[in-house]
Amino acid sequence: MKIVIVGATGTIGKAVAAALRGNHEIVAVSRSGGDHRADITDKASLEKAFAAIGKVDAIVSVAGGAVFKPLAALSDADFELCLHDKLMGQVNVVRTGWRSVRPGGSITITSGTLAQEPMPGAAAISLVNAGLEGFGRAAALELANENIRVNVVSPPWVTETLVAFKMDPTHGLAAAEVAKAYVRSIEGDKTGQTIDARKLS
């Protein structure tokens, strides 16, 4: 399969590419490098990238930023960033990318376990992650008419990220283990699902 990974230069993106490479053709897309450059917050840049890439069998989005802060400290700008970047950015990937997906293909976007298991400081991120899961279920219903599957992968804290931020990595999951959930979404036959990466490790 020809698979586009949006956010391919990030920690999870690299792990997903490594898990798929060898069995599939990988097209790496990111803001800073890869085979094509695109910013998920810029719909026109995504349209340009997908036009250049042509028809594909799957799209994976592991891109998007959000703010971790106590509720009382979250500003309007913080919420706007979260909604504009991780939420609408990935919605843009689906809206612009589905026409490039061949019948029988799939699109996988990324939420996170804070949607279902919030913690102090996660109000904005939990909002965005839950929104993505709801969007994924609804988009799957509509794109079923095009024979395109849509799933959401929900990763926990990634071990490599916790280590980079000098946080306790004990409860993290290695990026290579998280990547298995994306492989399941792409190579499986389910649609409208939120796949908890912890349940595949």
Convert the pLDDT of each residue in 35-88 to its tens digit.
999 999 999 999 999 999 999 999 999 999 999 999 999 999 999 999 999 999
What range does the domain containing 151 cover? 2-200
Task: Assess whether pLDDT exceeds 70 at residue 201.
Answer: no
Token code pair at residue 145: 């008419």
d(CA 83, CA 93): 14
% of the chain at pLDDT higher than 90: 95
Q: For position 194, which CATH number holds?
A: 3.40.50.720
| pLDDT for 200 | 83
Burial of 198 (0-12, 13-18, 19+ CB in 10 A): middle
| pLDDT for 185 | 98
Q: Is the pTM of this model over 0.85?
A: yes
pLDDT in tens, 126-148: 999 999 999 999 999 999 999 99
What is the tally of structural domains in the chain?
1
Q: How many CB atoms lie within 10 A of CB 51?
A: 12
Helix (H) or strand (E) holding 37: strand 36-37
Token code pair at residue 80: 């706007």
